[in-house]
Amino acid sequence: MQVIIVRGKEEMGRRAAALIAEQMRRRPHFVLGLATGSSPLPMYQEWIRMNKAGELDFSTTITFNLDEYVGLPPTHEQSYRHFMNANLFDHVNIAKAATHVPDGMAADPEAFCEAYEAMIDDVGGIDYQVLGIGSNGHIAFNEPGSSLASRTRVVNLTQRTIKDNSRFFARVEDVPTRAISMGIGTILEAERIVMLTYGANKADAVAKALEGPVTATVPGSALQLHPKVTWVIVEDAATKLKLEWRR
Ligand code: F6R
């Protein structure tokens, strides 16, 4: 695994944006796996800058997002589709029809999950997957205990996640209790992976995922099984690492 430790989240965003852009320029119809949340935002801002400056073209890029809440329409401002439009897709020259976010309103969510995997296969798989990690070690909505071989599926959100998310909704009853999430097995099939992380609250999860045993209780540790992973970590999230990653 490659570990890059940087000073701040802007540098994290620039480094990760450049790593992926280098691969995107080599191949038309590049397939990106994307995440929501705060971790990838500095990278999305850098991509938007690069796109406006004519340094990076998204016109033939295809994207698949990791996850979406079940029961939220794409227009809901807490939906991950809304997040992706607002924070990336609306600001670059990507074809919206080539952007895929799991359909939280699918009549048959289980069948949708199978179809989502088939769509990824049909375009030849994900070339570069972007990830963030939860403070409990989760990746996508694969909470601790998720099988390392899991596929895209409907997952129940933990009480902790529901409570954490309730701040974004008017009433706690409005918080979705289920989500569609790519599985850990699905994520590991990407050709390359970049993990973005910052913040002292992530330091334990980063240390366990990078230096602890590979275990389903720390889903991020599954990345140790992948041959081409780059972690771009802001130093405040790297304080609990013990091995000599710094060069
Ligand atoms: C987002 C996702 C989540 C986040 C993780 C970290 O699509 O799948 O696993 O990556 O919860 O979230 P932030 O970046 O907000 O700290």
Q: pLDDT by residue (tens digit) across 144-181?
A: 999 999 999 999 998 878 887 888 899 888 999 999 99
Q: What is the mean pLDDT of residues 94-114?
A: 98
For ligand 1, whether the C-beta of 183 sits within 6 Å is no
Task: Let me know if 67 is a catalytic residue.
Answer: yes
The predicted structure's pLDDT at residue 246: 62
Nearest ligand 1 atom to alpha carbon 67 = 7
pLDDT in tens, 22-71: 999 999 899 999 999 999 999 999 999 999 999 999 999 999 999 999 99
Among residues of the chain, what percentage have pLDDT more than 90? 92
Ligand 1 centroid distance, CA of 66 (Å)? 10
**Nearest CA, atom 9, ligand 1:** 140
Give yes or no: 76 in active site.
no
Query: What is the torsion angle, in degrees rounded to the nearest 10, for the CA atoms of residue 93, residue 94, residue 96 and residue 101?
Result: -140
The verdict on whether 164 is a catalytic residue reads no
- 46 assigned to active site: no
For ligand 1, the distance from its centroid to the CA atom of residue 190, given in whole angstroms, is: 18
Catalytic residue among 76, 136, 211, 235: 136
